[in-house]
Every structure is written in structure tokens, then in C-alpha cells.
Amino acid sequence: MERRRDTDPGQREGQAAGQGEGNGIPFVPPEQSPPEFTFPAVLVGVVLGILFGASSLYLVLKVGLTVSASVPIAVLSVTLFRACSRALGWRRATILENNIVQTTGSAGESIAFGVGVTMPALLLLGFEMDPIRVMTVAVLGAVLGILMMIPLRRAFIVQQHGRLPYPEGTACAEVLIAGEKGGATARMVFVGFGLAFVYKFFQAAGKLWASEPAVELSHRQADGSRSGLKGAEAAGELAPELLGVGFLIGPRIACLMMAGAILSYWVLGPLIVTFGEKLTEPVSPAVWAAEQPQDSRNAGLIRNMSPGQIGRTYLRYIGAGAVAAGGIIAMLRALPLIVASIQGGLRDLRASRAANSPARRRTEQDLPLSAVLFGSVALVLALAAIPQLGLGLNAEGLLGGVLILLFGFLFVTVSSRLTGEVGSSSNPISGMTIATLLLVCLIFVVVGRSGPSAMLSALTIAAVVCIASSNGGTTSQDLKTGFLVGATPYKQQWGILLGAISSALVIGFTMLLLNTAGTHYSKQNLPERRLAIPADAPRQRPGKPYQDDTQEYFVVHVRRGEYPAEPSQGLAEVRPGRYLVDESGKAHYRTDTPIAQESRRMDDGSSAPAAFTAPQPHLFANIIQGILGGTLEWGLVLIGALIAVSVELMGVTALPLAVGMYIPLASTVPIFLGGLLRYLADWRRGGPEREAAAETSPGVLLASGYIAGGTLCGLIVAFFAFSDELVAAVNLGAHFFGTLDASGKRVWDPNEVPWARALGVALFAILAAYLLAVGRRPTSPPAADSASRP
């Protein structure tokens, strides 16, 4: 999806510094060769890339967006190396070493976005999130994006210098130059990190105050009817990381997201309840509970649904349609630029190849084109050779490989050019992935492919293209930064390759751990009919809250429409999902995963692990199922698409509004508050235009710290779920304020206690007030020191 921050595409223009380098003068002249690709720089870049990648993955799973990590990593690199130099007497790091750090580390955030929006769709399509499948797609997609960007460097960065602004790449270069001259500091990043980490730990792990207070805006009468704003609630997630995201993306995007949330949860939701509360039959996609007697089958009736159930059952399809239409419209709006980018890129590529000479300067040296060609083919062959990916070394696999190369090169080119125009934070990667999915699925329909194997192949192709496009744009931005500071291109390319591989492996492993930690098992709403057990069905024991059951069951995935309703026998449709069944096919457990969570409480009454609410995985699964499986809820999806079209006709960008329609209202509220704080801070300084280029302003750095601290703490707390003893030990709220239930277990939910909700709101308000106070401070100009240019 779009990620946006206000930036000023400032340019460093001058006279030619050498052949082929356009009209830009790099900060470090080509004739000089200071230390650059050193072990400390690569190591720090890899570590920071892993940390920012893991935290970005957690963020994208929650709300479907990330923020650019290049500037925070650059600031941290300058500060960390300077601190080590002063404390330990080490040689001071050069600007090129700091550039290698940000180049190596920036890959983590872009890969996290691609993995986080595609791989969870595996579960929604009825496949296992296999480790080989996730990590292979992450690594190969990331490397493919880098390789395909290498031959485009001269075309987009050198020959288009002065025409393609690369706003965020230019801002990052200015940060590195300011750090070289002196004055760059990351103190506010560390302050924000510490505040957010401590707050999040005592909230999410300690349970000392509420994390998501909510109040229904309707009242139930004695006869079961409702009055007020039916089916609506006021809710807010008290998350410092989301507050920081709102501050970084700015007031315009934050307000559009809030407008979408109001439209979805306070307009469409109440309309559904108002016109549906008198119905005595469920409305699709709601289904009856299969195993319960007729007089108690009330779960699917609109009048009995909570606001959250209304959102999960109906509003998410409307929001998905709006997100799809918004992404496609963003692509269509950029179509002239895309066509011009492809034509210009190929033309400049031919020109730059013709101009190559053996005696190239240091700042003109790329990895050889042979490595790009053979590397890309090898990656596609590796994808086809791994059976878990659904391609195969056959005609269908060959088709998949050709589509990966075709769409990969197309959208890496588009992504790189759009990054040069608007920056990586505004790069519509989701729209490119939607276009890829639509085209691939339509091609499969033409060639006669359908069914589960085609769905897996389509998702694999789209995932590789998504990750390649995302990382290709980031690579383009990093190479622009290197061009401005005078880096050696092939050393940057090696750095981002190492950063991409290490980050992709860790991100894939983190994705699997988050899914396992957030999964719980339920005996509710099980089908009464027997399920067919595939020959290759794996065996598994149930997890929480049924860890005491040591029996191994078969894992069976049920897709929509496989077991339709049989009214003559009183049997309802078997709900799609993942079940644990015995040898006879009888279901004993239903798996509730965090990406498709149906219940916020486990069977023992305790709170279920945190759910993931990113819109893109559901949208991608719906597209694949709708075209290849014929099970898409077209009516609701088309309503959302028409809303997006209507908004665009009003002259308003639909994509951020559509994301606000999809993600929960509780997640949108803190983002909206962060955007308002950014507006107030900029207004206090005399208007946002004065701080448009202030990527290192105190407020931006503090917000970056909030994001890093909150997301990393959220990751740690999520992994606590692997140990019930650890969860109980850190649950201070239950120790101090909990009550004993019938089983002797201490029960405590701060979201249901008035004083805990008030305390949570008060502490969150303090974090917000501090962010506003820091954000209002003027940005100090960099102070010159004794450092000289290398």
C-alpha cells in the first residue's frame, strides 16, 4: 500500500565530476578511496537491518504499512560509530562506511513489507506456512529485485540526475553529509525507543493497564433490539508504534485513513445492522454453526453479532474491494509514467551499455551484467525446483518462471522509477501486486489451470514479484544516496545483497514464529460430518489451551465450497479452515490463526493471542479464490470498489481511505492522532513547508524510536506465548488485581476494568503530549566540527 511522508526533493546540482556521472558532484570525489566496505560497517548494517526488518514485519501484519528505515538507520549509524570512536579510541567511520550501513540495513524493511502482505495468504488459501516455502520466496524475491535493478542504475540515477528527484534518497544523503560535518544525533531515537518499550512491556506483558479500550455506541433493549448507533463502537489501540506511524505519514494520509474508518465502522456497519437485525436467516458470507440444534443456531444472525463480528463478516470484504480498486487506480494514474519509465529505461540502458569502457572510475563500477543474467535465471530455476512453491520443472513451471521474469523486470523498473519520482514511502507496491495477481490468474484461466495447485502457483509468482518490486525500489533509492555521497556502486550492491539475504532469512523465521505463537485451538463450531483425510496429511498435537492433549491428529484444510450445506439432512456448510481430525475424519479441534482469527477468547476464557489485521493477505486470497475458485463475495467487494471509484471522482486519493475502511477502527485511531500531532507541531513551527525536508527533526526521530521500541517489544511479548509459565510470571496485573475463577486460575482483563482503561488512556496521552512537545522544537542546523572531507 502507499506509505507517505512529507519530503522535499532537494537536489545537489553542480558541474560534471567525470564521464558518465551526469552533472552531479559527489561528496567524496571518484579519485579518493576512503574505507567503505568494511567488516564493522557490514555487520552493523546486517544487525540493524534484521532489527528494523523484524519490527517492520510486526507493523505490516498489524496495519498493512511500514515506514522507510533508511534515514533512522543512517542516523543510528553515524551516532553509534561516533560513540565507539570517542569511547574506545577507534578510527572514525567514514561517510562511505555509514552509507554501507544504511544500504545494508534498509533491505530489511522492504522485504518485511513484501513477505508480510503475501505469505499469510497461504493460510487463507488453505496451505501450510511451510518454512522452506516462506524463506525461499523471501530470499529469492529479495535477491531478484536487487539483480534486476543493477542494470537500471545508470539509466535512472546517473543519466536522470536532476530530473528524478529521489526525495528520500536525497534526504538520506543529506543526513550522512550532515553527520560527516557534525551535528547529527540519534538521542531522540533512543529516548523514544526506551519510552515505547517500557510502556509496551508493562501494557502487553504486565497487563497493568488497558491496551484497547472500547465502548459500544448502541444499547440493547429488553427484546434484543438495539438503539443508538447500532453495530458501532468507539475503540482505540493505545500503541506507541501506531502513534509514531501517524506522525511520520503526516496529517493528510492519517485523516484519509480515519475518514475510511468512519465510513466503514460508523456508517456501513450500522446500516447493515439497522436493515438486518429483524432477519431470521443469516446473510452470506455468514453461515450457520454446523453442529448445534436448529433453535440455538444464532451465531450467523446479524442481530446477534458484535461490532467486531460485523467487521470480520461483512466490512472486510467491502474494504478489500476498496483497497483493490484504490491500488489499481493508483497504477492507472501512474500508467503514463510507467510506460515512459520502461521506454526511457530501455533506451538509457542501451546508451549506457554502449558508453561502457574498461577504464571506469570507482563511482561507475557496477556488478557485471553477466551476474545479473545468470543470477536471475538461476533464481527462477531454484524457485521451480522446490516442490513446496507449486511451480515445478515442467511446462507449468516454465510458464511460472517466464511470468516471474517478465513481471519481475516490469515492476522492478516501475518501482525504481516511481521511487525516483515520489520516494519509496509512496511507492504503490500493493497495486503492482494486485495487477500481477489479476494478470497471472487470468493467464492461468486461459491455459486451463485451476484448483489448489494453480492458486499456490499464482500466490508464489505474485509474492516473488511483490518482494522483488519492493526491494528493487529500495535498492534504487540506496544507490541514489550512494551517487550523491560518492559511493562505489558494486560495493553498495554487495552490501544490500548481504543485508537482503540475512534479513529475509530472519524475517521468514520471524513470520513462522509469530504465526505459531499467535495460534490457538478451539472445540467450538466443529462440523459434525466426517472430513476426508489427504494421503499426505501431516500429524500434529494441539496447542494452547489444550497442551495436555498428547494425541496426534491429522491436519485437514477445508476450502470454501468443499463441503456445501445439505438442508435435507440438516447439515450446514463446513466452515473453511484448518482442523485437527482423528483417523475416522471426525474433527476434534479448529485452528484459529492470528491472520484469520475468529475468536478473541480461547476456550478456557483467557484472551486469545493478538490478531493480525493487515488487509492485503485477505485481498490477495480473495482475488485468487474469486478468479480460480469462483468463491469470491463479489457483491460486497464490488460495493467497496465503487466507493473507491466515487472517492477518486471527488479528487481524493482512494487507497489510504480504503485501508482505513479495512483495518480495525482501533488501529486507525492512534494513527490519526499521530497525524494530528504532526500537523500541530508543523503549524507551531510556521507551517509544514518549513520542515518538509527535516528528516532528522526531533519529532521525526522520537516517532521513529516509538515505532522501533513498540514493535520490537510487541515481537518479544508475542514470543512469550511459547511458555505459559513465562506469560504468567510477567502478568503483574493478574498477580495484583486478578480474581480466582472456578478452576483456581487468576483472571484479569484490564480492557474491562474502568480504572485500568482510564490509566491506559492517561499514560498514552502523556506519550502523545511528549511527542508534540518534542515535535514543536526547531531543527538545529548541523554544527561544523574539525572533521574534513576525506
pLDDT digits (tens, 9 = 90+) for 244-256: 888 877 888 889 9
pLDDT at 227 over 80: no
In three state form, how does the secondary structure of 712-724 look?
A: HHHHHHHHHHHCH
What own/partner pairs with CB < 8 Å and gap ≥ 24 does 734-738 have?
734/207
- Bigger pLDDT: 431 or 513? 513
Integer Cα distance of 247 and 682 in angstroms: 11
| Res 717: pLDDT | 82
Q: Which residues sit opposite 632 in a β-bridge?
A: none
Q: Are 209 and 756 in contact (CB under 8 A)?
A: yes
Q: Which has the minimum average pLDDT: 95-99, 263-267, 326-330, 663-667?
A: 326-330
As a whole number, the mean pLDDT across the chain is 79
Instruction: Please give the full DSSP string across 264-276, using - where no structure is assigned.
Output: IIIIIHHHHHHHH
Q: Is the pLDDT of residue 287 over 60?
A: no
pLDDT of residue 335: 65
Average pLDDT over residues 399-413: 83
Please determine, for residue 642, whether its predicted confidence score (pLDDT) is greater than 90.
yes
Q: Please, are residues 71 and 175 in contact by the beta-carbon 8 Å criterion? A: yes
Q: Are 463 and 400 in contact (CB under 8 A)?
A: no
Looking at the DSSP assignment, which residues form a beta bridge with residue 164? Answer: 161
Tens digit of each residue's pLDDT (9 = 90 or more) over 55-102: 888 888 877 767 677 777 887 888 888 888 888 888 888 899 999 999
Contact between 701 and 189 (Cβ < 8 Å): yes
pLDDT tops 80 at residue 670:
yes
- pLDDT at position 764 is 95
How would you write 94-115 as a 3-class SS string? CHHHHHHHHHHHHHHHHHHHHH
Q: Report whether the peptide linkage leading into residue 545 is cis, meaning its omega lies within 30 degrees of zero.
A: yes
Give the pLDDT band of residue 628 (cuts 50, 70, 90).
confident
Contact between 517 and 697 under an 8 Å Cβ cutoff? The reply is no
pTM listed for this prediction: 0.74
Cell numbers found for residue 294: 436448529
Q: Which amino acid is present at 649?
A: L
When pLDDT is cut at 50, 70 and 90, the band that residue 769 belongs to is very high
Most confident of 262-276, 423-437, 657-671, 767-781: 262-276
Residue 220's DSSP bridge partners are 226
Of 49 and 394, the one with more pLDDT: 49
Among 11-25, 79-93, 756-770, the minimum mean pLDDT is found in: 11-25
CB hemisphere CA count around 722 (13 angstroms): 9
pLDDT, one tens digit per residue, over 644-667 is 999 999 988 887 888 788 778 888
Rounded CA-CA distance 691/679 in Å is 11
Q: Is 605 left (phi over 0), alpha (psi -120 to 50) or beta?
A: left
Per-residue confidence band for 784, with pLDDT thresholds at 50, 70 and 90: very low
Return the amino acid letter for 531: L
Residue 229: all three cell numbers together: 448507533
Under the banding of pLDDT at 50, 70 and 90, the label for residue 755 is very high
CA gap 569, 587 in Å, rounded? 19
Q: Residue 758: its pLDDT value, please?
A: 93
Residue 781: what pLDDT? 47
- The H or E element that residue 560 is part of is none
Q: Confidence class of residue 41 from pLDDT cuts 50, 70 and 90? A: very high
In this structure, of 131-140, 276-285, 528-537, 562-571, the range with the lowest mean pLDDT score is 562-571
Question: At residue 766, does pLDDT exceed 90?
Answer: yes
Low-confidence winner among 338-342, 596-600, 738-742 (lowest mean pLDDT):
338-342
As a whole number, mean pLDDT of residues 477-500 equals 90
Reference 613, options 601, 600, 623, 603; nearest CA is 600
Residue 635 has what pLDDT?
A: 83
The segment with the largest mean pLDDT, out of 259-268, 452-461, 575-584, 591-600, is 259-268
Q: What is the pLDDT of residues 706-728, one digit of tens each?
A: 887 887 788 788 777 777 778 88
pLDDT at 17 over 80: no
Cis ω for the linkage preceding 165 (within 30 of 0): no
Q: Quick check: 542 pLDDT over 70?
A: yes
Count Cβ atoms within 10 A of the Cβ of residue 190 and give its class: 0-12 exposed, 13-18 middle, 19 or more buried.
Answer: middle
Give the sign of the dihedral formed by CA 778, CA 784, CA 789, CA 790.
Answer: negative
User: Which of 173-182, 503-512, 701-710: highest mean pLDDT?
Assistant: 503-512
